[in-house]
């Protein structure tokens, strides 16, 4: 099964990315070191989720009234513009993207030209879409790897946090967050005993604004 076929519905994807961002806020005071981030009001009626592993790979997901677009960049992929002599985007990645969605990638923060895959979904689409991209056998575009960092379960996030943040988290508390529970002071203490609780609560409030 292709990774595009495993993607959640846009609204469920948005909820999941907000959950991941909220956990990163609790665990990591330095915004620039957070793996998962979410900006509720990136633009008018537009939200932006991002994933950055700090090693040159990133994922941007823009949620807008007209639909949702995902842009990923695996810096080691042979599909990368930097791996091509002409330094151009790989053919087929953007050609079929609806203009109304492609325009959402124009913001400098999203680095539109740094791309190895792109998926999208307009409001009337029943499934996620991808352009006709021909990639040689054995070449990876990074979509499996990067979309795999949208952790679907509390267990997966706990395992990730142990490696990335070097923290052992209480699974039952992370599971509560995944179930949609509002993060309380007690939960913050359980997840990050040394965290600045008031600052974390302010950052969480901004996430939900």
For the chain, domain boundaries: 3-151
Q: Is 43 helix (H, G, I), strand (E, B) or coil?
A: strand
What's the pTM? 0.95
Cβ–Cβ < 8 Å for 74, 141: yes
Strand order in the sheet with 58-64: 36-43, 46-52, 58-64, 67-73, 117-122, 129-130
Q: Is 99 helix (H, G, I), strand (E, B) or coil?
A: helix
Q: What does the alpha-carbon distance between residue 27 and residue 32 come to, in Å, rounded to a whole number?
A: 13
Residue 208: per-residue pLDDT = 80
Residue 172: per-residue pLDDT = 98
159 CA to centre of own chain = 18
Residue 129: per-residue pLDDT = 98
Which runs of consecutive H residues, i.e. helices, occur in the chain? 10-27, 99-102, 143-147, 154-164, 171-178, 185-191, 197-207
Q: What averages of pLDDT result for each successive group of 10 residues across the chain (209 residues)? A: 93 98 97 96 95 97 98 98 94 98 97 98 96 95 97 98 95 98 97 96 90
Cβ–Cβ < 8 Å for 140, 77: yes
Cβ–Cβ < 8 Å for 145, 74: yes
């Amino acid at each position: 099964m292709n990774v595009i076929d495993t993607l959640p519905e846009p609204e469920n994807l948005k909820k999941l990315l907000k959950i991941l961002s909220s956990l990163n806020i609790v665990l990591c005071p330095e915004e620039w070191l957070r793996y998962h981030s979410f900006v509720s009001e990136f633009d008018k009626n537009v939200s932006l989720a991002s994933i950055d592993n700090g090693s040159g790979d990133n994922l941007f997901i823009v949620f807008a009234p007209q639909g949702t677009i995902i842009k990923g960049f695996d810096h080691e992929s042979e599909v990368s513009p930097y791996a091509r002599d002409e330094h151009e985007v790989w053919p087929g990645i953007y050609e079929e993207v609806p203009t109304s969605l492609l325009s959402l990638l124009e913001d400098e923060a999203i680095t539109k030209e740094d791309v190895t895959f792109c998926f999208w979904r307009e409001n009337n689409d029943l499934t996620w879409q991808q352009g006709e991209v021909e990639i040689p056998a054995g070449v990876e575009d990074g979509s499996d790897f990067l979309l795999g960092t949208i952790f679907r379960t509390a267990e997966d996030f706990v395992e990730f946090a142990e490696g990335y943040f070097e923290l052992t988290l209480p699974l039952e508390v992370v599971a509560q967050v995944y179930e949609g529970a509002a993060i309380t002071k007690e939960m913050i203490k359980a997840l990050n005993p040394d965290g600045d609780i008031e600052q974390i609560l302010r950052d969480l409030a901004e996430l939900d604004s």
